[in-house]
Amino acid sequence: MTTTAVRKDGPAAVTPTPTVGGHFRNYLSRVRGGDVGALPAVLGLIVLCTVFAIMRPSSFLSAGNFANLFTQGAAVTLIAMGLVFVLLLGEIDLSAGFASGVCAAVLANVVTVLGYPWWVAVLAAVATGVVIGTTLGMLVAKIGIPSFVVTLAGFLAFQGVVLLLVKEGTNIAVRDEVLIAIANRNLAPLLGWSLTALAVIGYAAVQLLRHRNRVARGLITDPLAVVALRIGGLAVILGTAVYVLNLERSRNVLIVSLKGVPIVVPIIAVLLVIWTFVLQRTSYGRHIYAVGGNREAARRAGIGVDRIRISVFVICSSMAAIGGIVAASRANSVDPNTGGSNVLLYAVGAAVIGGTSLFGGKGRVLDAVLGGAVVAVIENGMGLMGYSAGVKYVVTGVVLLLAASVDALSRRRAAATGTR
Amino acid sequence: MSATPLLELRGIDKSFGPVQVLRDVALTVHPGEVTALVGDNGAGKSTLVKCISGIHPTDAGEFLFNGEPVHIGSPRDAATLGIEVVYQDLALCDNLDIVQNMFLGREKRSGIVLDEPTMEQLAAETLAGLSIRTVTSLRQHVSSLSGGQRQTVAIAKAVLWNSKLVILDEPTAALGVAQTAQVLELVRRLADNGLAVVLISHNMNDVFAVSDRIAALYLGQMVAQVKTTDITHAQVVELITAGRSGGLGLATDPGSNGDGPQAADSISGGVR
């Protein structure tokens, strides 16, 4: 990758026309150089699924269990998506778990105790997230307390706030139909297929337009075959998933029919697209990477560093609020432990396993989704194999450690080869 | 040598508390020329640069830009005038690619979306204009570049904005022989393209290789500003270490700094 060979002719920075083979060789050399990206998460996912499929072929591979994976992992994945923003700056938010609990408790109070419609409750929950995030961000950016300490304090305090909001240990039921549907109902099969088609067509349109635009301007582009492969890959993955989710998974069809894509899936997908757009295609996103990569350089470039630092905490806590809403929906209630116990560590784990660096400057929102899938598969598969909660915690802890080691080692390797 | 200097400083004073770092400093910088700013550690080179780039306010003195008096109160003012500084520690983000770094903080957009193709084209044109052919791809991360390539990107970043004056703070300090030659060649090319260049360096070989004029600072005073062709290597070293060399430099005993006549204090039109 690093060459200082002087080119004899032509303008600066011309590489030979990329070929499909060259594209893959490039990718391989990047991986060897330590830029592993989401590869460990994808490989881990394949290994875990194979192991569980061999050990528990009937239960793990069933359509019902596949659908379960999504609803089980949804809350953690959503919180992890927000955490990616904070991790990109090299900061941490330990309070995201209980922040989601606080927001869920606000939701339950507004909808059940006060009797407002569901959308008021959702707005109140997200607004609570925004307030929490602003407060945390101000303390970190303006006063200068390390985020670890601020959010550790938040972790303890929010635990107390949840207890206070649910009146010391009772739980508040959530009975609103719309709210319950989020994590417990499915899209009609036909709607699932139409949304899939829409997603694939939209992705193809964006990719092809970009390709054409770059070719028209004479810029270096990925070969068309690679673009087609990407579109095809997305179509196959989405198509297979939707096909399986649209299978009948009710044990007794005569009593109730159970099929279709769980409603949380499109919610996660839309948020994934929105946040990916923000990070990759807007100057705000670019500035987040810049501040995470070299804060001083960002400051000298005229970027409002404090503003960026506060805003990522706002995004993180707002996503935690959405995670809390999904958790409340799935449990049909909010209790003092909503967003507690392992939720936060699973979320941090998901982001890191997916390939987001704990050192800042590197990561994507997609990482959180891939990592969330790994965490959900471990939780689900270990449960099916009848292991106790103790074993599950230990295994998840080991996987998180493994992911963090991959992160640290790939950084060292990158530093050695100069290709971070 | 052109008629009007691009930047002219007169009687610049700067103190940090009780420590007077710059006293009555004058400097002229001409377009199309490389002016080397030399001086020992603590002579005030970096402070002078920070005053020019608007990071530090000056206590007294005048700035003339293209013959017009100007006020530089912030880095933004300096950037508006077309003054760009390439810092010693580069100020590039390792995790971003070359195009992203060159446009950092001043991204081109169409609507709210980043206009990547335009930025990539402009970056390629700028690099081509400087005859930089050492980078293979504009989309490689800066972390994968060598020290010389990074310096090249940092300089290209400064040139991208139609700048008129580029100040380089020890651009070759951390580079090997071949890379130093590469960067110096680029520095020369900037001046040949009509820009005014101020080069801060400790390395006499670099200074004599590219500069048209040499300005020597000694304990916060500008002791000489001469054409490179009129001075020898040894004389510059004497100016840097003792503040005088033959007929050049301080007239009186340079050791007793602090009690010489402080004409700068009475200069009118102070910048504050």
Tell me: the pLDDT tens digits for B84-132?
888 877 678 888 999 999 998 888 888 888 888 889 888 888 888 777 7
Give the ipTM.
0.81
B61 domain residue, yes or no: yes
CA dist B52 and B71 (Å) reads: 10
Helix or strand or coil: residue A305?
helix
Give the closest residue to A45 by CA, choosing from A295, A370, A340: A370
Tokens found for residue B29: 């910088």
Q: Per-domain residue ranges for chain A?
A: 38-185+262-406
* pLDDT band (50, 70, 90) for residue B270: very low
Q: Looking at beta carbons, which residues of chain B come within 8 Å of A407?
A: none
**CB proximity B124 to A under 8 Å:** yes
Residue A303 has pLDDT above 90, yes or no: no
Q: Looking at chain B from residue 83 to 112, which residues have their Cβ under 8 Å from any Cβ of chain A?
A: 87, 89-96, 98, 100, 104-107, 109, 112
For residue B122, give how far its alpha carbon lies from the nearest alpha carbon of chain A (Å): 11
Q: What is the mean pLDDT of residues A327-346?
A: 87
Q: What percent of chain A has pLDDT over 90?
A: 47
Structural domains of chain B, count? 1
* pLDDT band (50, 70, 90) for residue A2: very low
CA dist A349 and B158 (Å) reads: 41
B246 domain residue, yes or no: yes
Residue A222 has pLDDT above 90, yes or no: no
- Span A355-373, pLDDT tens digits: 898 888 889 999 999 999 9
Q: What is the mean pLDDT of residues A295-306?
A: 85
Say what angle helices A96-108 and A305-331 make with each other, to 10 degrees.
Answer: 60
Q: Which helix (H) or strand (E) holds A420?
A: none
**CB proximity A414 to B under 8 Å:** yes
Alpha-helix residue ranges (DSSP H) falling in A109-174: 118-138, 147-165
* pLDDT band (50, 70, 90) for residue A17: low
CATH class of this structure's domain A38-185+262-406:
mainly alpha
B93 domain residue, yes or no: no
pTM, 2 dp:
0.84
- HSE toward the beta carbon, residue A68, CA cutoff 13 A: 16
* pLDDT band (50, 70, 90) for residue A98: very high
User: Scanning every residue of chain B, which has its alpha carbon at the shortest distance from the alpha carbon of A301?
Assistant: B105
Q: What percent of chain A has pLDDT over 70?
A: 93
* pLDDT band (50, 70, 90) for residue B258: very low
Q: What is the mean pLDDT of residues B140-155?
A: 84
* pLDDT band (50, 70, 90) for residue B271: very low
For residue A351, give how far its alpha carbon lies from the nearest alpha carbon of chain B (Å): 18
Reported residue count of chain A is 420
**CB proximity B137 to A under 8 Å:** yes
Place of tokens 């002719």: A9
| pLDDT score at A6 | 38
Which of the two residues, B77 and A197, has the higher pLDDT score? Answer: A197
Which of the two residues, A27 and A363, has the higher pLDDT score? Answer: A363
| pLDDT score at A9 | 38
B43 domain residue, yes or no: yes
Q: What is the mean pLDDT of residues B19-40?
A: 90
Q: Three-state SS across chain B?
A: CCCCCCEEEEEEEEEECCEEEEEEEEEEECCCCEEEEEECCCCCHHHHHHHHCCCCCCCEEEEEECCEEECCCCHHHHHHHCEEEECCCCCCCCCCEHHHHHCCCCCCEECCEECHHHHHHHHHHHHHHCCCCCCCCCCCEHHHCCHHHHHHHHHHHHHCCCCCEEEEECCCCCCCHHHHHHHHHHHHHHHHCCCEEEEECCCHHHHHHHCCEEEEEECCEEEEEEEHHHCCHHHHHHHHHHCEECCEECCCCCCCCCCCCCHHHHCCCCCC
CA distances from residue B12 to B20, B35, B73, B269 in whole angstroms, order as listed? 11, 18, 14, 11
Indicate which of B143, B149, B179 best probes the interface with A, i.e. most A CBs within 10 Å of its own CB. Answer: B143
B175 domain residue, yes or no: yes
CA distances from residue A170 to A103, A167, A364, B263, B271 in whole angstroms, order as listed? 17, 6, 38, 81, 69
For residue B185, give how far its alpha carbon lies from the nearest alpha carbon of chain A (Å): 14
A320: left (phi over 0), alpha (psi -120 to 50) or beta: alpha
- Span A51-87, pLDDT tens digits: 988 988 888 888 888 888 888 899 999 999 999 999 9
B207 domain residue, yes or no: yes
* pLDDT band (50, 70, 90) for residue A8: very low
Check A293 against B93: CB less than 8 A apart: yes
* pLDDT band (50, 70, 90) for residue A396: confident
Residue B8 has pLDDT above 50, yes or no: yes
Q: Looking at beta carbons, which residues of chain A come within 8 Å of B150?
A: none
Domain residue limits at B178: 7-82+164-266
Q: Which of A28-32, A172-176, B19-23, B40-44 has the lowest mean pLDDT?
A: A28-32
CA distance from start to end of chain A: 11
Q: Which of A8-22, B185-199, B229-243 has the lowest mean pLDDT?
A: A8-22
* pLDDT band (50, 70, 90) for residue B78: confident
- Span A241-250, pLDDT tens digits: 999 898 888 7
Which of the two residues, B170 and A414, has the higher pLDDT score? Answer: B170
CATH number, residue B63: 3.40.50.300
Q: Are A360 and A90 in contact (CB under 8 A)?
A: yes
Indicate the DSSP class of residue A17: P
**Which among B93, B104, B143 has CB closest to A419?**
B143
Q: What is the mean pLDDT of residues B34-47?
A: 89
**CB proximity A330 to B under 8 Å:** no
Q: Are A308 and A89 in contact (CB under 8 A)?
A: yes
Question: Mean pLDDT of all residues in chain A?
Answer: 87
| pLDDT score at A4 | 38
Residue B156 has pLDDT above 50, yes or no: yes
For residue B120, give how far its alpha carbon lies from the nearest alpha carbon of chain A (Å): 8
Q: What is the mean pLDDT of residues A14-30?
A: 70
**CB proximity A17 to B under 8 Å:** no
| pLDDT score at B203 | 86
Give the closest residue to B142 by CA, choosing from A26, A373, A294: A294
**CB proximity B176 to A under 8 Å:** no
Which of the two residues, B148 and A7, has the higher pLDDT score? Answer: B148
B242 domain residue, yes or no: yes
Highest mean pLDDT among A28-37, A254-263, A275-284, B260-269: A275-284
Tokens found for residue A108: 């339950």
* pLDDT band (50, 70, 90) for residue B253: low
| pLDDT score at B252 | 57
**Which among B95, B120, B138 has CB closest to A420?**
B95
Q: What is the mean pLDDT of residues A287-300?
A: 89
Indicate which of A14, A278, A419 best probes the interface with B, i.e. most B CBs within 10 Å of its own CB. Answer: A14
Residue A97 has pLDDT above 80, yes or no: yes
Residue A402 has pLDDT above 70, yes or no: yes
B177 domain residue, yes or no: yes
Give the closest residue to A75 by CA, choosing from A298, A268, A301: A268
| pLDDT score at B263 | 38
* pLDDT band (50, 70, 90) for residue A314: very high
